[in-house]
Amino acid sequence: EVQLVESGGVVVQPGGSLRLSCAASGFTFDDYTMHWVRQVPGRGLEWVSLISWEGTGTSYADSVKGRFTISRDNRDNSLYLQMNSLRHDDTAFYYCAKGHVDAGMVLDQWGQGTLVTVSS
Amino acid sequence: DIVLTQSPGTLSLSPGERATLSCRASQSVAVFLAWYQQKPGQAPRLLIYSASSRASGIPDRFSGSGSGTDFTLTINRLEPEDSAVYYCQEYGRAPKLTFGGGTKVEIK
């Protein structure tokens, strides 16, 4: 059974930094593109970032480019999101998601999310 | 950037009825479109990808159609458990992707 478990969400001050983690199990982690998606409570979904299976290809939403960095450790089956220069509008649930085997840009498994609150 | 517009905002139907949800893209995404279901307090679940292919384990009551800029998610024989928000997502301009604003389906 595929499991994705996010952690690291806390309350952080504007301008602060945070690193989110996602522990993956139940599939061959280094075969798949992985993503981060966020959702303001009660609002819609916003794609944040992706990383290729080997970790050399990354892409970011314009809203986080230059502030967030996605990475992965295929030895530990872990995905990360380093978040710097945090702003109030970064407050959201952050989900890690696995790319589909036939289409890496389709998100076929999701974690339960971790809440990041940016507040003074 | 591609904008996905979903309509209606809310759909209120009775069990057994058919739901028809629309997703319109601001420019062609060919068939690179997926649909997700999200119930309150849960993560999204993939329903449809490549516009019309059902994901693993999804009942055949759910079907997708369309190409280019106009797409439809149809839910036949609505059940109370289908109450959720449904999102479309395009992936026609990899390596970025976009979600629509969602349609809420309420079962009376």
**DSSP secondary structure of B14-42:** -TT--EEEEEEESS--TT-EEEEEE-TTS
Q: What is the DSSP string of chain A?
A: --EEEEE---EE-TT--EEEEEEEESS-GGGS-EEEEEE-TTS-EEEEEEE-TTS--EEE-TTTTTTEEEEEETTTTEEEEEE-S--GGG-EEEEEEEEPSS-TTSEEEE---EEEEE--
* Mean pLDDT of all residues in B88-99: 93
Q: What is the pLDDT of residue A102?
A: 86
Query: pLDDT tens digits for A9-28?
Result: 999 999 999 999 999 999 99
- Residues in chain B closer than 8 A to A112 (CB atoms): 42-43
Would you say A40 and A15 are in contact if contact means Cβ atoms under 8 Å apart?
no
The minimum CA-CA distance between A109 and chain B, rounded to whole Å, is: 7
- At A107, the pLDDT band (50, 70, 90 cuts) reads very high
Determine, for residues A111 and B43 on separate chains, whether the beta-carbon distance falls below 8 Å: yes
Q: List, as ranges, residues 22-81 from B with C-beta within 8 Å of A.
A: 32, 34, 36, 38, 42-46, 49-50, 55-56
The Cα–Cα gap between A50 and A36 comes to 6
Q: Touching check for B96 and chain A: CB below 8 Å?
A: yes
Q: Give the bridge partners for B48, in sequence order.
A: B35, B54
Any alpha helices (H) in B30-88, and if so which ranges? none
| Structure-token match 């009660």, residue found | A42
Task: Please write the tens of the pLDDT for every residue from B5-16.
Answer: 999 999 999 999
How large is the average pLDDT for residues B39-49? 97
**B100–A44 CB contact, under 8 Å:** yes
pLDDT-based confidence at residue B93 (cuts at 50, 70, 90) = confident
pLDDT more than 70, % of chain A: 100
Residues in A closer than 8 angstroms to B38, CB to CB, are 45
Residue type, B52: S
Over 90: is that where the pLDDT of A101 sits?
A: no
Cα-Cα-Cα-Cα torsion B62, A93, A38, A15, nearest 10 degrees, comes to 170
Q: How many Å lie between the alpha carbon of B102 and the closest alpha carbon of chain A?
A: 7
